[in-house]
Structure 1
Amino acid sequence: MSRRVVITGMGAVTSLGLGADKLWHSIKNGQSGISRIERIDVAGLSTQVAAEIKDFDPTSFIEKKEIKRMDRFTQYAVAATQMAIGNSRLVITNSERAGVIIGSGIGGLETLENQHNVLLEKGADRVSPFMVPMMLPNMAAGMIAIKFGVKGFVECVVTACASSTNAIGDAYRVIQRNTADVMIAGGAEAPITRLAMAGFNASKAMTTNPDAATACRPFDMERDGFVMGEGAGVLILEELNHALGRGADIIAEVAGYGCTNDAYHITAVAPGGAGGAACMSLALADAGLSPADIQYINAHGTSTELNDKSETAAIKAVFGDHAYQLAVSSTKSMTGHLFGAAGAVESIITACAVKEGFLPPTINYKNPDPECDLDYIPNLGKAAKVSHALTNSFGFGGHNATLVIKAYQ
């Protein structure tokens, strides 16, 4: 029998606040973290809103001399990890039986952009010697291992917007196969830079709605593109007996994992969401569940024309008539799209939904799309028993990842 894997701690850095509790409180109440961008000059950009973090002070988590050697995405990851470990009351006593997997789709883009400007404006000899390690996507996992003394299975997953869901799923597998008893898993991203904004504007993928309050509207007929977000989500995963042995409070259980690829296009989704459907089916099979066992899906739901239609089609393909009995929501309507960190933040939200028995809403849902005709929990969340839930993440390159999170018994 496979070793059971439970969630015992969670930490988050998002535009909705610091900590998993603040994140969940805001999500339950349908609060948006999307606002006009203040950190960068938005002149000439067709998108001028994002889920930007306004209140993050890295000195609360990291020594000042270390801050200068970390890109913002790594700072977010370290902070979220510190909060998750505190939330879990975890003391790592066997460093070789503990590991870290942190995903990031982009890594240290802010560092790369800033240092390129230094090169152009001040010359090659002024480029920082820390530029390369600061921009590497694996540096979040590396810095967490250094700071918290983790010497076991440590790696970075880079699968675009599926990165942190893959990170959690892979960490689940590491514990299942008895390579570790404790895994720190999640994702971090800090993509709000002029270069990233310009690139996504050029691809016509982001909203051009100037109203921050309504810019992100997944599954709504008037949706016109995603809203960029930033931050980190980190979960503490433990083998069940290890958690029970130290008297940990168990939040929820990771019960299944699916991972597929569309093998279709670098950015477009396969027709009918076939890859996503296969991924959800694999996760259900891994958990030993039937479609009728699921009550809630935290959707990838990016607020783009193609994603929302294809994900809806994929859900129908997997769940059949039960799709219309499911509750489905996109919490990106409140957090924005955190790219490689999205899945981790949404896994935290899903775990909270399961533990508390509450379905988080999709806000800004006003105009139904005939091709998106499921129950998207419009605008107001609601109490409901949730014994089993899915969370989906789909990324450029055709990457798909799904987790099954269930109530702990």
Structure 2
Amino acid sequence: MERDGKTGSNRQLWPVLAGYFIMAFSDLVAPITPRIAASLPAGMQAWASFLPTTVFLWFLLLSVPVAVLMNRIGRRRTALLGDALAALGLLTAYFAGGEGLAGYFAGFGLLGIGCTAIQVSVNPMLAMLAPRDRMSVYLTLGQVFRNTALLLLAPVVTLLVWLAGSWELLLPLYALLTVAGGLWMAFTRFDDPAMNAPSAERVDLKGYLGLMKNGTVALCALSIGAFLMLDVGIGYLSVQLVDSPNPLLTTTFFYACRIAGSLAGVWILSRVDDLKYLCGCMAVAALVCVSLFSQHAAWVVYAGLGLLGFVLACVFATFFAAATRAVPERANEVSGLMILMISAGALSAPVIGAIVRHSGDVRSGVWFLLLCVLFIGGAACYLKKRKG
């Protein structure tokens, strides 16, 4: 890696952080799907509900293969490939989507593939730039940029509808930002040690999955899967917990507090052990989940969701850093496995929906959230004990 002092470090850091902003574009599919469905004939609207699946599917199918590819072509080239596919997908959805649902499926499929490549590559790039004892701080800073993109989605859509009468301009706007981010990274020099490793060409899919034999890596991977199920589950359940004419405000507030928690985490994790901090955060999250069983007032739900957003801000960064520290020479493989677990978020809605239908009470879905929190907290405390 290029080492020319603080200026060189910053020059490499910012385009990588821009990658975190771009990777969040895959999350635009779920909130705009109802708008797409509303523009379709009644007989086709049910098919539109599968559009978000076209994004989640590629995290499941391609995370590890992309990591295998990354060992051969390098992290930056993988990120640039992802940028190109994501931009092409956004433009395809914009120009072909108006012709029918097939255009949206093709465009969002390319977007999902591109964002998979971006996520797999930029996490180890950021970890490479971070000092070993501050890896969680840097990865949490990356989540600040990702969550900022998520927070801005609703206001940007609202503004475009007000100015142009349509949300569709969001797609070429995000494509332009993706191209700009890719060019920024393309003109920034990175030295990729993974490409130069003698074993890089010999690592295959079996070798990646073999990482699960490492207890720390396996526990971190499962914990990230539980975190994604918790994260998606909160988004799915929160709009049903509040009787409000605009329930989407719950998720907006949740991500606003997530950003606040990430910013606080950047400061806290530079002073406190990351696993110790996470154990405390999960204790708070468990208490919040318990309170949601009995409290029905809207302000309590909003406060609880905001507090959950704050204490969950550092979960991904902490487990990703712990897994990378366990096998630092295999950071690419670790990244592929961790991003693979993002696909676990697809389980939340059907599982919570089944629980709610069985019980007849929407608050019974909180049991799913509580179980995820307890697993994450138990894993963090176990890893902290081993580390100590």
Q: Fold-level match, TM-score > 0.5?
A: no
Higher helix share: 2
Provide TM-score, normalisation by structure 1.
0.31
Higher strand share: 1
Provide TM-score, normalisation by structure 2.
0.32
